[in-house]
Amino acid sequence: RFFVQMMSRLSSEQILHEVFGYSAFRGQQQDIVEHVASGGDALVLMPTGGGKSLCYQLPALLRPGVGIVVSPLIALMQDQVETLNQLGVQAEFLNSSLDARAAREVINRLLHGELKLLYVAPERLLTEGFLNLLERLQTHSGLALFAIDEAHCVSQWGHDFRPEYRGLTVLHRRFPTVPRIALTATADAPTRAEIVERLALEKARQFIASFDRPNICYRVAIKNNPRQQLQAFLEAEHANDAGIVYCLSRKKVEETAIWLKARGWDALPYHAGLDTATRNRHQSRFLREEGVIMVATVAFGMGIDKPNVRFVAHLDLPKSMESYYQETGRAGRDGLPANAWMVYGLGDVVSMRQMLDAGDAPEERKRVERQKLDALLGFCEATTCRHQTILRYFGEVHPGRCGQCDNCLNPVDTWDATEAARMALSCVYRTGQRFGAGHLIDVLLGKNTPQIEKFQHQQLSTFGIGKALTSQQWSSVYRQLVALGLLQVQMEGHGGLNLTEEARPLLRGETKLWLRRDNEIGRRIVSRAER
Ligand code: ADP
Ligand code: ZN
């Protein structure tokens, strides 16, 4: 009690030093803290590791009453409450992990005005009982603020939609005088707009930090033998490091973890299909021990605060630029050099498209998801600075030439692919716009496969006209034509390709096309230190 009252008489700097033990604010922290402490609403966009927690924890200490923090992540709540308690701040959490008695205990402390911060899951917060409790609190000891963490969860365009978040507008309606601060590490323009709209934050001041992660070296390689590629990457650069390997499916997570383990790596699987005890055990080994590799689906990572993750590897394509940014952002939170390494191929594009199309989301949403995937493909095929490309997507300007991405370290070779692309496209057209790249390449190379026999494709004018290129080069051409939007993967079937409007100028001979040369991509890039 004494501690609680004493704090509201200190300045924000004093609390920063004396409670949190930091010597200075970072970035916009001080502006945010003072804005919220003086009763203003705020929307804070700051990359992971930027120091968002302080932006609501400190104002909660400066204002009378308790700060209510909405968070979707039980593990995160526990971590934060533990840390706060160690700093001497009275904090608790309320979520499904507490039994009834423990929960009553927390509520008692709350009612006695003993807490400065309470972390609560959205579904709990939104119960009528809890909202009534908050009203009582407001008139007695006071409500310092509402912090809405992981605010992108309110957006159905975001990568982690949580329907409960939609109900959070009630906070504004029932407690209009209590300041609200919404925070997220990831939000492109449409998601940002939706957060503002859904949480009624039109009048909130927006604090948008730079999303640049200069210590992360982004690299994209073409997939040919993904496990071997991963193994080579780990051996060359991360022999003893902690890192995360993302895979799309649970099955692939299991298989990859077993494969790595058999080769002597300390790898553990993590996905939503494992029982809670196993997941917790693996997570805590990853957090507490050195050099553990977590092979995981996207179920792993949100809210994981491990500063020395040295690499994030993607064996499958994430579903959007935001997901990619978010997932790779778990590397190098300590600011030291870290790698974001990904292999991808046309097969990934096909399976991601099919996954999106097969989902039961409304057509409008699928359209947005397809656009988001396309933006990521554009990124994969980009020949310019990766940092620049990522930041441009988030509406930020970066001068490029970072010296810390594959394209800057090993400038990409391009070649005039106009003729080849025309052959590739006309082969799609002649075969009736229904076959996948594998068959199309067989036709171009003039192979005699049962499939070609069956469809009489030896008789086509494009049969055997592509012998000047190898099968690998053709697959590079097709992959890039898809990424550039000249071809699209069909919704139904098995990766059949058809022409889009964008392909016309090229087919008519009106434009030229330069593509990136793949040969060099797989090779290990030379790091700055070695140059
Ligand atoms: P976020 O929630 O944005 O991912 P956190 O709030 O977890 O980031 O902060 C990331 C790390 O930075 C934490 O270890 C935190 O203790 C540290 N940190 C935050 N603010 C400061 C500061 N002003 N000075 C030094 N370290 C800070
Ligand atoms: Zn670069």
First to last CA, the chain: 59
Locate all alpha helices (DSSP H) within 175-249, ordered by sequence: 189-198, 226-237
**Ligand 1 atom closest to Cα of 23?**
24
Buried b (16+ CB within 10 A) or exposed e, 134-153: beebbeebebbbbbbbbbbb
In whole angstroms, give the CA distance from residue 309 to residue 244.
Answer: 8
- Judge whether 229 and 221 are in contact, CB under 8 Å: yes
Ligand 2 centroid to 375 CA: how many Å?
Answer: 18
Radius of gyration of the chain (CA): 26
104 burial (CB, 10 Å; 0-12 / 13-18 / 19+) is exposed
Q: Whose CA is nearest to atom 23 of ligand 1?
A: 25
Ligand 2 centroid to 49 CA: how many Å?
Answer: 21
Q: Specify the DSSP element, H or E, that contains 354.
A: helix 346-358
pTM of the model as a whole? 0.76
Ligand 2 centroid to 383 CA: how many Å?
Answer: 10
DSSP for 303-341 reads T---TT--EEEESS--SSHHHHHHHHTTS-TTSS-EEEE
In whole angstroms, give the CA distance from residue 43 to residue 513.
Answer: 43
Ligand 2 centroid to 472 CA: how many Å?
Answer: 26
**DSSP for residue 132:** H
- Report which bound ligand comes closest to the CA of 86: 1
CA proximity to 197, closest of 156, 249, 149: 156
Per-residue pLDDT of the chain (531 residues; tens, 9 = 90+): 445 555 667 899 999 999 999 999 999 999 999 999 999 999 999 987 789 999 999 999 999 999 999 998 888 899 899 999 999 999 999 988 899 999 999 999 999 999 999 999 999 999 999 999 999 999 988 999 999 999 999 987 766 788 899 999 999 999 999 999 999 987 777 888 899 999 999 999 999 988 899 999 999 999 989 999 999 999 999 999 999 999 999 999 999 999 999 999 999 999 999 999 999 999 999 999 999 999 999 999 877 879 899 999 999 999 899 899 999 999 998 889 999 999 999 889 888 888 888 888 888 888 888 888 888 998 999 889 999 999 988 888 899 999 999 999 998 889 999 999 999 999 999 999 999 999 999 999 999 999 999 999 999 999 999 999 999 899 999 989 988 889 988 877 678 899 999 999 999 999 999 999 885 444 444 443 343
Q: Specify the DSSP element, H or E, that contains 343.
A: strand 338-344
Residue showing tokens 């441009």:
392
CA proximity to 376, closest of 194, 186, 220, 151: 220
